[in-house]
């Protein structure tokens, strides 16, 4: 699967603590090799649009819009209410 990001992704990414950035890079490398890896929890999160979520540690998720074989990603912090 191919991937790309949009500008807000990198703005949010650069604001992350360095340890979270490292976890995000590891998750991305794993996702490129095996999106179905259990630890990533890559799954569709919207019925009306092909929006997918992938886990980046306990507190962050990357969201992506899947179009064909390309996933365009954004990054979000998971609210504490979901922990």
pLDDT for 76 equals 67
The whole-angstrom separation of Cα 73 and Cα 52 is 9
Query: What CATH number has the domain spanning 2-78?
Result: 3.30.2310.20
Question: Cα torsion at 78, 53, 22, 27 (round to 10°)?
Answer: 150
Coil vs helix vs strand at 36 = coil
Half-sphere exposure of 52 (CA within 13 A, CB side): 20
| pLDDT tens digits in sequence order for the chain, 83 residues long | 788 888 778 888 888 889 989 999 999 999 999 989 999 999 999 999 999 999 988 888 888 889 888 888 876 665 444 44
pLDDT for 78 equals 57
pLDDT for 47 equals 94
pLDDT for 7 equals 77
Q: Minimal CA–CA distance to 26: which of 48, 56, 6, 1?
A: 56
Q: Return the domain boundaries, the chain.
A: 2-78
């Amino acid at each position: 699967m191919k991937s790309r990001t949009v500008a807000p992704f990198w703005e949010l990414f650069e604001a992350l603590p360095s340890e979270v950035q490292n976890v995000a890079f590891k998750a991305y490398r794993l996702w490129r090799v095996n999106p179905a890896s259990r630890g990533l929890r890559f799954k569709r999160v919207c019925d009306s649009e092909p929006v997918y979520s992938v886990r980046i540690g306990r507190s962050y998720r990357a969201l992506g819009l899947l179009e064909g074989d390309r996933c365009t990603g954004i990054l979000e912090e998971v609210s504490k209410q979901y922990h």
